[in-house]
């Protein structure tokens, strides 16, 4: 009986010692999965802008047909030429992007893109994940930027939640001050 109690105690100690490491590995795996989806969206934005003639105002525009009622990142209506150029190279990401936003392991990517000034003047384009935990935001920043870059940004958390901002098109990549 003593051996059984001793064996159970040793196993419990090993589990207790390994639990934090396993939890960190899970958090990192979730951040890597989210980072991969955000990177694919960023690639879609970089392709979309020059080919269509404007950057999409919604993430869902990467896979859903543009109309004259669709907006660009300056919150102006897409032109007839933008709408005509869309099907030539669509879709711009390898997965469906829903108008209600895309769910990742760290939260929902908001469909609407934060409005940029008009003219856009080469300002970067961001997508956002609102309501993320501070720990998730920090882990995503670590995975994407190594905690030293500025692709992932987030404000100080309020009640342990924050909005993650992921730069999909940087200032130097924006083509011809397009909206």
Residue 148 CB contacts under 8 Å (≥ 6 apart), including other chains: none
Closest CA to 72 of 57, 85, 58: 57
Q: Return the CA Rg of the chain.
A: 21
pLDDT at position 120: 63
How large a percentage of the chain has pLDDT more than 90?
65
User: Residue ranges per domain, the chain?
Assistant: 28-169
Closest CA to 82 of 106, 96, 65, 103: 65
Segment 38-49, tens digit of pLDDT: 999 999 999 999
pLDDT at position 25: 59
Question: In whole angstroms, how far apart are CA 174 and each of 46, 55, 120, 160?
Answer: 8, 9, 9, 33
Distance, in Å, from the CA atom of 28 to the CA atom of 157, rounded to the nearest integer, reads: 20
Residue with tokens 């384009």: 125
pLDDT band at 21 (very low <50, low <70, confident <90, very high): low
Segment 48-102, tens digit of pLDDT: 999 999 999 999 999 999 999 999 998 999 999 999 999 988 999 999 999 999 9
What is the three-class DSSP state of 61? helix
> In the structure encoding, which two tokens stand for residue 72, read together?
């660009």
> In the structure encoding, which two tokens stand for residue 38, read together?
């955000």
pLDDT at position 22: 46
Alpha helix ranges (H) inside the chain: 2-52, 80-89, 134-145
């Amino acid at each position: 009986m003593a051996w059984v109690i001793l064996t159970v105690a040793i196993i419990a100690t090993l589990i207790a010692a390994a639990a934090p490491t396993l939890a960190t590995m899970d958090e990192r795996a979730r951040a890597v999965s989210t980072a991969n989806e955000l990177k694919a969206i960023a690639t879609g934005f970089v392709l979309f802008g020059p080919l269509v003639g404007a950057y999409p105002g919604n993430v869902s525009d990467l896979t859903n047909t543009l109309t004259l009622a669709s907006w660009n990142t300056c919150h102006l209506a897409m032109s007839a030429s933008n709408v005509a150029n869309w099907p030539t190279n669509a879709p711009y990401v390898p997965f469906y992007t829903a108008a209600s936003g895309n769910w990742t392991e760290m939260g929902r990517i908001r469909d609407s893109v934060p409005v940029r000034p008009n003219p856009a003047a080469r300002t970067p384009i961001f997508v956002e994940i609102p309501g993320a935990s501070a720990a998730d935001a920090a882990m995503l920043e670590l995975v994407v930027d190594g905690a030293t870059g500025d692709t992932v940004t987030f404000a100080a958390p309020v009640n342990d939640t924050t909005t993650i901002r992921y730069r999909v098109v940087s200032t130097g990549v924006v083509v011809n001050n397009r909206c």
